[in-house]
Structure 1
Amino acid sequence: MTHPELVIRKAVWKGEEVDLLVADGKILDVIPSSDTMYEGAEVVAAKGLLLMPSMTDVHTHLREPGFEYKEDIASGLKAAVHGGFSNIMCMANTDPVNDNAVVTDEMLRKAKAAYPEGGPRLFPIGALTKGLEGKELAPMHEMAEAGCAAFSNDGLPVKNSELFRRAMEYGSDTGKPIIDHCEDPYLAPAVGVNEGEVSSVLGLAGQPDVAEAAQVARDLLMAEYLDMHIHLAHISCRKSVDLIAWAKKRGVKVTAETCPHYLLLTEDALNGYSSDTKVNPPLRTADDVDALLAGIKDGTIDMFATDHAPHAAHEKEVEFMHAPCGISGLDSALSLTWSLVASGKITFDDFIRMWTTAPCETFDLPLNSFKKGDPADFFLFDPSEEWVLDATTMHSKGKNTPFRGQTLKGRVISHFLSGKKIV
């Protein structure tokens, strides 16, 4: 056996105390814990800490280029690595839009500059159409060759179904998935409020759940007709879950994500008009939360994503109707979703699948499943440590989150990427 260079001693993996052996930046072995000495190896004492594979976030907004006052690639990656993430996929709604290889190259250069010795990996998501305008397809082959991991029109879904069909066909030729933000562009787009009892009481214009579900249905039918894969972003309601389950039973090639805030909050959080609760798609009802949790358990929902959307304080500190949609999520996602494990709403295996296995397999990203030869991307996690989410504990520039000020439980103690300690 190759001699280990790093030994993580007495960590807990799936309920068992183990030693993790690492060499050449890769997993060498995971063995029952012992007091075996390995000459020349660095030994890290991890008694009582959970050993966790690094997570992957398939949906973030890092804002650079163009909106560095909200977030930049360096600050976003810093928040990511402290939050337990090794792979980050970022959307194309930058300025200029990431609709060509020049922008893609620059984003990757900035990521390398932030961590020249190796750090969290950035995988840009290329624009589906030029300028995200929904009129002309972007040069997807060019962007795929430059390093884009997928393509999406982000928060401006393509209205023209014929153009969207051609985008799926063209995208399929690149071997990269198409991601769609499912929102009927004519049914109160991006208002950030669910249409229902709460919107009526607050006197706010709302968006019905059918606005999401109608676009989900279109995409599923298109994917079935073309026999091509479609990935559906930030699913928020029961109608969408039911449609995706129906499609999967028919053999449609579909994967879907949801976000922590859709599992831990409902539309009731909008009482008080806090703009930090304004997100697109909007927070839904308790029944929608139940459907999403059931969808995680039965595999209808494949993965988590943060939809990390940082904004500057002055943008959110305005009247609700004028505030932009979005929640800053990279700092808190691990603790928030771990609370679902702690409360028994999802299992540990669900957690690993949703944050690690499914995202990496779907988008062909580096995956650590603790098998020999896997990248040594992992973190030590203290599930009992309590900490307050506030401006002093968040690494993202964006502090816009409805969980700000809350005491969260569970925190990254140290994070290793390719066997090197980053945090």
Structure 2
Amino acid sequence: LRYTCFNMEKAIALMQPGRESVVIVIDYENINSKNSVPFSVAREFLNTMSSHYPERLGMCIMVNASWYFSVALRLLSPFIDNVTLAKLKFAKTSQMQSSAPIADDMTTQALEEKKQSFSGNNTDVRLYVQPKYLLQDYGGNFTWTWDYPSYWSAISAVGKNYTGNSTDAARNAELLAWCDTRCLVRYLKATKFNLDQSLERLAATLKWRFEYAPDNITPEEVAPEADTGKSFLSGFSRDGRPVWYMRPAKQNTTTHDRQLRFTCFNMEKAIALMKPGIESVVIVADHENINSKNSVPFSVARDFLTTMSTHYPERLGICILVNASWYFPVALRLLSPFIDNVTLAKLKFAKTSQMQSSTTIPDEMTTQALEEKKQSFSGSNTDVRLYVQPKYLLEDYCGNFKWTWDYPAYWSAISAIENN
């Protein structure tokens, strides 16, 4: 990961005035289970790039990628904004080698017409990198062999652009108080007790909390995001964890930065509501009536996932996706070989129609009866009532808790909770 950051810093240092992003060419030739990048490493790479190098990706061309890459992208495309989607391309060396030569110098019109001639996300690397500069491996004319000593000497000599960070004694004291024993344990668990990785991740979060100050977000700042009840806390799970409801169809703003701060505001309030011994939340995400007009843009969803996984490790107890479209479980099945079993077990699917037609689930159940009932479901399917007692679960999700969204009353109550 540090080597990845090293390369990005060198790329930034090489950018001419007016240039802000890089072109990435990823070669997937001969990738298999033995030499593929572990999911945890890929996740850290994506988290770091999206969190700390925003808008630095100009284009990413995946060369000779297996079929499931394009299938996964097609499944996820409804949730990816067009700007990001346009940056993800696929190319095949066999097709480039058999196609007509592409000139080094082309008019802007001719170049765009050629790019538009490809279907979907397919392309030719030579349309983004002139053949005279493109390696022969990818259809270019640049003759080369890997020469580590020469390359390393040259790249090491490239200067780096660096700006230091200021410090504040009072804020540092607050952060030290936040970083208690339970916090350290969460970071150790998140890295499977790899001390070096835990320290790196914790240091990144401390820096983030210093600058982003999620614990100091005021209700006034994010109040417009709460108006429709698209994201709110209500009640506790069977084992005492705060329940966080998310209803993306109620989306009412396009202020993505404030949306992310609203998410952090809710997480900080959920943490403040946790009783001793409770470390995580239960999320019930309602995907009913989601469409292209009200779905969360990919960039926002990515920032949400990045922030939660990077800066709130081990805070997710379970996430139940209610009435999710068919491609959610399909995408999860495709990605399951790259997701560790602990994380996979936290992702569940439920359908209100199936819960309504099933037998009644009581509020009080023995631990054994509860586990047997959970095990009776196939795959990642479940019933929300197995995690939240019906008396505390909203009627919308087959619970018995009668309610209507009352923004003034809710906002007054949640605003009064003091952050830890």
Q: What TM-score do the two structures reach when normalised by structure 2?
A: 0.27
TM-score between both structures, scaled by the size of structure 1: 0.27
Which has a greater percent of helix?
Answer: 2
Name the one with the larger strand percent.
Answer: 1
Rg larger in structure: 2
